[in-house]
Amino acid sequence: MPDVPAYERDPTLTRLETSIVEVGTTGGRPFAVLADTVLYPEGGGQPADHGHIDDVVVNDVQETGGVIRHILGGPVEIGPVTVRLDWTRRFDHMQQHSAQHLLTAIAADRFGWQTTAFHLGQHVSDIELDVPSIGAGLLQAFEDAVAAEVRAARSIAARRVSRAEYERIEVRSRGLPAGHEGEVRLVEIAGVDLNTCGGTHCASTAELEAIKLLGSESLRGGTRVFYVAGGRLRRRLGVEVERTAELRSVLGAADDELVTAVEARIEQLKSGNRARRRLEEELASLHVERVLARPESVSATHFDDMDLPFLQRVARELAERDPGRVILLTAGDGEEGFFLLAAGVEADADIQSLGPGVATVLSGKGGGKGRLFQGRASRLSLRDEAANLLR
């Protein structure tokens, strides 16, 4: 591997003729070491590149002890190969990572907020700043300041300097890795930032296209700011536009009336649920009165479209008003549904012994304690047989 690998010499290079110099396995997966590579290994907060070595997929790239291993989807042999980069993934990482450098520089120089951490996520990235909170006004001012530098199309370039030169110049850095020796790689946004970094970056802030701050949250005494940049922002906007169009169609409301329309629908739903609960309570009471009018030791009733809480309500009231009765209730439109077995305190029935038998007849499963056993059934058509078992 040359001192400066191809992915660093030219971050836009997507294809390279090289050779495999070593093969092996790690964690049960095959890997290859190349003479040179366009695939960036995970590091500095930037995920690893993906791509292909000939026709074999590269799922991961890791650097261990100065050796870059390409983790593969299948075995390969030592010899000449062509390496191809998944450019869409790489350019997305370049945009998000370069955006982080710009955000970090503007946060520090314009607002006095130092970056303490950076996370490049699959869909959303974030930086952590050493400020307890950021109000909506300040967050907007932060975004506006960053947007101005994107419009300025400032060049972004990387270079290597000696350790001695690094010590002499003013560089934004959280410190070099433990045991680092030799040259130090710097990434510079002209007139804005000079930072230590080993990642791949855009050639200009113009390539970031745009950066949108999605919000912030307090975290560990600081503030995490979420953002998207470039292609991610455009794709996210496209999804939001489509979703808004669907909501307009469903709710029959204009964009600026959607929230109000949703709130009105939620209130209607809550009101409907309250009315339904009242009706179910009345229905439960009517059913209880009907059952009590029949002098029997075991009562069995089926409801087509009720749920388990309704059965519990009926069983509870029946057991209280007729403590000597055994109750079997089922609910469901078809073969599948619920069953509930209960008994009053004076009933001569061991519900925990009877329950499994009822569940078996109904091809169901259930459980309970004391004088209640309930569960799901998949053969409700056999509910009469279950009642006869109890009788």
Task: Look at residues 85, 106, 137 and tell me which one is the last residue of a structural domain.
Answer: 85
User: Average of pLDDT values for 273-280?
Assistant: 88
Six token digits for residue 76: 């390969």
Q: Are residues 131 and 77 part of one domain? A: no
Closest CA to 172 of 104, 270, 92: 104
DSSP state of 256: G
Are both 105 and 233 inside the same structural domain? yes
Q: Tell whether 220 and 352 lie within a shared domain.
A: no
Mean pLDDT of 178-193: 87
For the entire predicted model, the pTM comes to 0.76
pLDDT band at 296 (very low <50, low <70, confident <90, very high): confident
Q: What angle, rounded to 10 degrees, do the helices at 231-251 and 258-292 form? A: 50
pLDDT digits 0-9 by tens, 4-24:
899 999 999 999 999 999 999
Q: Is the pLDDT of residue 175 over 80?
A: no
Q: Are residues 22 and 97 in the same domain?
A: no
Give the model's pLDDT for residue 178: 67
- Are 121 and 70 in the same domain? no
Spatial distance between the Cα atoms of 376 and 354, rounded to a whole number of angstroms: 15
Closest by Cα among 289, 382, 376, 381 to 337: 376
Q: Which of 85, 100, 120 is the last residue of a domain?
A: 85
Neighbours of 333 (CB within 10 A): 11
Residue 297 has pLDDT above 70, yes or no: yes
| pLDDT of res. 179 | 64
Is the same domain home to 80 and 96? no
The boundaries of the domain holding residue 62 are: 6-85
- Give how far Cα 90 sits from Cα of 13, 73, 97, 116, Å: 11, 19, 10, 24
305: exposed, middle or buried (Cβ count in 10 Å: 0-12, 13-18, 19+): exposed
Number of domains in the chain: 3
What is the per-residue pLDDT for 391? 76
Which CATH number does the domain housing residue 198 bear? 3.30.980.10
**Do 208 and 166 lie in a common domain?**
yes
Are residues 223 and 326 located together in one domain of the fold?
no
Does the residue 321 lie in any domain? Answer: yes
How much of the chain exceeds pLDDT 70, in percent? Answer: 99
- Give the strand pairing for 125-129 and 211-219: unpaired
Average pLDDT on 121-130 reads 96
Domain boundary among 85, 110, 126: 85
Statement to judge: residues 224 and 291 lie in one domain? no
Residue 369 lies in a domain: yes
Confidence at residue 17, expressed as pLDDT on a 0 to 100 scale: 97
Phi, psi of 321 (to 5 degrees): -85, -25
Same domain, yes or no: 194 and 96: yes
Q: Are residues 112 and 66 in the same domain?
A: no
Residues 6+ apart with CB under 8 A from 279: none
Residue 166 lies in a domain: yes
What is the per-residue pLDDT across 59-105, written as a single tens digit (0 to 9) for each?
Answer: 999 998 889 999 999 999 999 999 999 999 999 999 999 999 999 99
Rg (CA), the chain: 34
**Residue 356 belongs to a domain:** yes
What is the arithmetic mean of pLDDT over 275-288?
86
The whole-number pLDDT of residue 192 equals: 96
| 308 and 202 fall within a common domain | no
Domain with residue 366: its CATH number is 3.10.310.40
What is the C-alpha to C-alpha distance for residues 22 and 53, in angstroms, rounded to an integer? 13
216-256 residue pLDDT tens = 999 889 999 999 999 999 999 999 999 999 999 999 999 99
